[in-house]
Amino acid sequence: RREMRPFGVKVSIIEPGGFWTSLLDPATLANGLKHVWERLPPETQAAYGHPYLEACTQCSAQLVRLCSTRLSHATATMVHALLARFPRSRYAAGWDARLLFLPLSYCPAWLSDAI
């Protein structure tokens, strides 16, 4: 974004949160994780253990609950970034992006990694 400013190009960063799409269907995520797990070497599976797969599946199912079903938040930010006379430098689409990801992006790397 800052590298393009001397050339007269304004770049807006859109940071979307989680939005419900068919990719985030819990059954699809569970099948994808299981498929990747089965392709791992046996020693890697033994190192992590089978409870790791179950924990990842449960965690992904819980994260899906936080996703918004209204995709209009993301499209509205794109429209504003493209058509506004004075677009913002950063956009956060969705409540999870505004309350979690945007504040984390301003934190030092060591703090955001710890969180």
Report pLDDT for 44. Answer: 92
Residues 39 and 49: their CA atoms lie apart, in Å, by 14
Report pLDDT for 70. Answer: 81
From residue 45, alpha-carbon distances to 42, 50, 60, 64 in Å are 5, 7, 19, 25
- Work out the mean pLDDT of the chain and round it to a whole number: 85
66, pLDDT greater than 80: no
38, pLDDT greater than 90: yes
Q: How large a percentage of the chain has pLDDT more than 70?
A: 100
35, pLDDT greater than 90: yes
Burial of 114 (0-12, 13-18, 19+ CB in 10 A): exposed
Report pLDDT for 89. Answer: 85
